[in-house]
Amino acid sequence: MCELKEVKGIGPKSLSLLNKININTVEDLVTHYPFRYDYLVRDNLNEIEDGGHIVIDGKIESVPILMRFKAGLNKMNFRLVTQSGVVGVSIFNRAFMKKDLEVGIGITVIGKYDKKKNIITASEIKLSPLSNKVKIEAVYHSTSGLTVKNLSTYINMALLMFGKKIPDYIPQRYIEKYNFVNKKTALNIVHNPPDDNKLQEAKYRLKYEELFQFMFKINYLKHENKKKNTGIKRDIDREKVNKFINGLSFKLTGDQLKAVDDIIKDLESSNRMNRLLQGDVGSGKTIVSFIAMYINSLCGYQSALMAPTEILATQHYNNLKQIFKDAGIEIALLTGSTLKKEKNEIYKSLENGSIDVVIGTHSLIQEDVNYSNLGLVITDEQHRFGVNQRGNLKNKGIMPDILYMSATPIPRTYALTIYGDMDTSIIKEKPVGRKPVLTYLKKNSEIKDVLSMMLEELKAHHQVYVIAPLIEDSESSGELATVLDLRDKMKLAFGEYFKIDIVHGKMASRAKELIMQEFQQNKIQILISTTVIEVGVDVPNATTMVIFDADRFGLSTLHQLRGRVGRGDSESRCILISDNDAKRLHVMEKESDGFKISEEDFKLRGHGDLFGTKQSGDMEFKIASLKDDYDILIKAKEDSEEYLLDEECKDELKENFIKSMNVNY
Ligand code: ADP
Ligand code: MG
């Protein structure tokens, strides 16, 4: 591929600006897609004020007159016939266009309209007039010093010079099957859309291409995983495992036992484990992963458990210390707030093998950690962190087994695609004695009822979560509940008898951790919070959750939030406060199954907030979106499977695909 600096117009300064926004190759440049299109409506001469911006179509009526000035400047004048009258056009420094500006051809002129002189001073002339009444203009993310216009110029220059060399990742047979335009044309259209139909077609093609690549990888991984004996084969002492399980303070559910069994089989087999453990909130996934780590330690390998937040990592660490207290297993916690000195010691111990289990946030995989013999990697409550995430796991030659845990109830069809390379264990059954969380909808005017419900629970020595969409008022115009405001109100109502505190994303990690610990130990009875407690937090004595402005949250988020209560034997309740009668909230009232809720969410809001705002790892696409392009995803999945499994097909593209998949993690 050609280098960026070979593109005409890109000098050292613009090169470094481009690098700043992660454009490092010509391919990066031409796939720096517009994030938005502006639809400029065509103007009418009469409607434009003197000096106003104008976009207008017309036919050239007079031969352009070219004037040249000193210093190489030039100017052209001609008359243009438009639907709203004849107008003079003058444009500077476009002498090179003179030969194209023939009398009678249609053009689009963009510029400034001098009403008195009836002249447009054009900044731009488009030779092929856009067929519609609107002009579609690409808008790009850029960086200061690099105007959108410059960016657009570079992109178009790159396409002009190297467009034919931009690799196309769609195999020929599918280009033919779907009658796709070629890659260069598609890119050209996406950057300079002539009309909406062509734009949609070109986008479809580029999305398909991206998803095809993605699904090819997933299918390939699945295929290879099944074929190769790259995993660790373990001899497992089942008696010891059973003893450990029987020593737990509760009896595992049938689904938990089945999941443990699936995992044992994976760990025994010489195939690498690549398993997704899915289960609704509160179904008890954590203990299953702890058992997996116990087995892994018994066999002499290290384990790493990654959680999405420090709160959660710390919670797992404290639990694990308790559960492993007699097992002779060394555990360490490694997060962003671990002190440097301590960190270095943990690194050392991981390298020499004196730590058996390390728990941390996802930075665990990003940091330069050397393991002595890492045998098992577990990630909690996170969408997968990349199809072929290699990370920096430096491990002595062996390939660790992988277990993902997720409570996100993604519909099956989706799971089959994005988790398509994994085996899955599903925990459906809740631990015995669990009652569904009673859910009520209330209006702000019914706050007294809410407070008295809270009081009853507090008097029964239970704890309460209160959730607000915002931290403080500066974030809104005062119409939404905030953590700080609710703290004052709760203090007024309950402060005399109960301890109240807050936790939110803007607090330092250490402070958050302390508050969570105190809540866990029932030193705090009412915890007011933003959605930072959405994921994973486990305090079984908390039996009530009150969510203010509940209509501000998606159903999946509400379900996750509600999952923080109903974790013990006592009856729990969740009160959703909202003055907007959102239909969605009624779903929460009658439904407690996370999968059904997410299906409802799909029906009501499209793919909703399933994937959060940010997708992780390889799930970031440049043009496709898992949210909106499900149909294309399915096509890409089927086609890429067919292509991969077609033994006869050995084309260059396929070889390159496979070569690029140097999966070593
Ligand atoms: P999640 O699947 O949402 O991660 P957790 O693993 O945090 O759920 O489990 C929720 C709660 O249920 C925890 O307090 C855990 O100790 C408890 N638990 C897990 N399994 C059982 C079981 N079989 N019987 C009773 N309680 C259980
Ligand atoms: Mg959990």
Q: Is the CB of 279 under 6 A from ligand 1?
A: yes
Cα–Cα separations (whole angstroms), residue 625 to 31, 203, 310: 15, 11, 29
Give the torsion through C-alpha atoms of 79, 84, 85, 87, to 10 deg. -30
Q: Are 523 and 498 in contact (CB under 8 A)?
A: no
List the single range of 416-430, 523-537, 627-641 with lowest mean pLDDT.
416-430
Which residue out of 404, 538, 562 has the highest number of ligand 1 atoms within 8 Å of its CB and is therefore the one to mutate?
538
What pLDDT is attached to residue 170?
96
Identify the domain boundary among 400, 427, 454. Answer: 427
Residue type at 124?
E
Round to whole Å and give the CA distance between 186 and 347.
49
Burial class (CB in 10 A: 0-12, 13-18, 19+), 420: middle
Q: Is the CB of 380 under 6 A from ligand 1?
A: no
Same domain for 260 and 234, yes or no, is: yes
Same domain for 382 and 443, yes or no, is: no
In a domain, 385, yes or no: yes
Backbone CA torsion sign across 643, 647, 651, 656: positive
Same domain for 481 and 553, yes or no, is: yes
What pLDDT is attached to residue 620?
62
Q: Cβ neighbours of residue 659 under 8 Å, at least 6 residues apart?
A: none
* pLDDT for 17 beyond 90: yes
Same domain for 423 and 470, yes or no, is: no
Alpha helices in 37-147 (DSSP H): none
Same domain for 359 and 418, yes or no, is: yes
Higher pLDDT: 598 or 249? It is 249
Same domain for 502 and 582, yes or no, is: yes
* pLDDT for 389 beyond 50: no
Residue 105's domain comprises: 43-129
Please give the tally of structural domains in the chain: 3
What pLDDT is attached to residue 221?
77
Confidence class for position 615, pLDDT limits 50, 70, 90: very low
Atom of ligand 1 nearest to the CA of 433: 25
Identify the domain boundary among 570, 591, 612. Answer: 591
Identify the domain boundary among 392, 427, 462. Answer: 427
What pLDDT is attached to residue 509?
80
What pLDDT is attached to residue 596?
81
What pLDDT is attached to residue 69?
86
CA-atom Rg of the chain in angstroms: 31
Same domain for 422 and 446, yes or no, is: no
Round to whole Å and give the CA distance between 396 and 293.
19
Round to whole Å and give the CA distance between 439 and 573.
6
Q: Are 440 and 576 in contact (CB under 8 A)?
A: yes
Q: Is the CB of 286 under 6 A from ligand 1?
A: yes
In a domain, 407, yes or no: yes
Residues 511-539, mean pLDDT to the nearest whole number: 89
Give 202 Cα–ligand 1 centroid separation in angstroms.
49
Q: Which amino acid residue places its CA nearest to atom 22 of ligand 1?
A: 431
Q: Is the CB of 431 under 6 A from ligand 1?
A: yes
Q: Is the CB of 399 under 6 A from ligand 1?
A: no
In a domain, 432, yes or no: no
% of the chain surpassing 90 pLDDT: 52
Which residue out of 277, 287, 322 has the highest number of ligand 1 atoms within 8 Å of its CB and is therefore the one to mutate?
287
Round to whole Å and give the CA distance between 276 and 407.
10
Ligand minimally distant from the alpha carbon of residue 307:
2
Same domain for 400 and 536, yes or no, is: no
Confidence class for position 214, pLDDT limits 50, 70, 90: confident
Confidence class for position 382, pLDDT limits 50, 70, 90: low
Confidence class for position 363, pLDDT limits 50, 70, 90: low
Cα distance from N-terminal residue to C-terminal residue, the chain: 27
Collapse the DSSP code of 82 into the 3-class scheme (helix H, G, I; strand E, B; otherwise coil) and give the result: strand
Residues 615-622, mean pLDDT to the nearest whole number: 52
Give 404 Cα–ligand 1 centroid separation in angstroms.
17
Same domain for 443 and 396, yes or no, is: no
Cα–Cα separations (whole angstroms), residue 141 to 156, 179, 578, 616, 622: 16, 31, 36, 20, 12
In a domain, 601, yes or no: no
Task: Give the residue carrying structure tokens 């007079």.
Answer: 62
In a domain, 549, yes or no: yes
Same domain for 300 and 335, yes or no, is: yes
CB < 8 Å & 24+ apart, contacts of 597-604:
597/409, 597/555, 597/556, 597/559, 598/408, 598/409, 598/410, 598/411, 598/555, 598/556, 598/559, 599/411, 600/555, 601/554, 601/555, 601/556, 602/411, 604/555
Which residue out of 286, 435, 533 has the highest number of ligand 1 atoms within 8 Å of its CB and is therefore the one to mutate?
286
Give 381 Cα–ligand 2 centroid separation in angstroms.
6
Give 282 Cα–ligand 1 centroid separation in angstroms.
5
Ligand minimally distant from the alpha carbon of residue 381:
2
Round to whole Å and give the CA distance between 188 and 207.
15
**Phi and psi (nearest 5°) for 218?**
-60, -45
What pLDDT is attached to residue 416?
67
Give 511 Cα–ligand 2 centroid separation in angstroms.
22
Tokens at 40, concatenated: 């400029």
Same domain for 396 and 494, yes or no, is: no
Q: Is the CB of 284 under 6 A from ligand 1?
A: yes
CATH number of the domain within which 48 lies? 2.40.50.140
Ligand minimally distant from the alpha carbon of residue 285:
1
In a domain, 316, yes or no: yes
In a domain, 556, yes or no: yes
Which stretches does DSSP call E strand in 381-511?
Answer: 394-395, 401-406, 423-427, 438-442, 463-467, 500-503
In a domain, 572, yes or no: yes
Same domain for 275 and 415, yes or no, is: yes
Confidence class for position 129, pLDDT limits 50, 70, 90: low
Give the torsion through C-alpha atoms of 91, 93, 94, 95, to 10 deg. 110
Atom of ligand 1 nearest to the CA of 283: 2
Give 483 Cα–ligand 1 centroid separation in angstroms.
28
Q: Is the CB of 253 under 6 A from ligand 1?
A: yes
Q: Which amino acid residue places its CA nearest to atom 15 of ligand 1?
A: 284
Task: Give the residue carrying structure tokens 């580029």.
Answer: 206
* pLDDT for 226 beyond 80: no
CATH number of the domain within which 494 lies? 3.40.50.300
Which stretches does DSSP call E strand in 15-98?
Answer: 36-41, 52-60, 65-68, 74-82, 85-92
Cα 132 to its chain centre, rounded Å, is 35
What pLDDT is attached to residue 394?
57
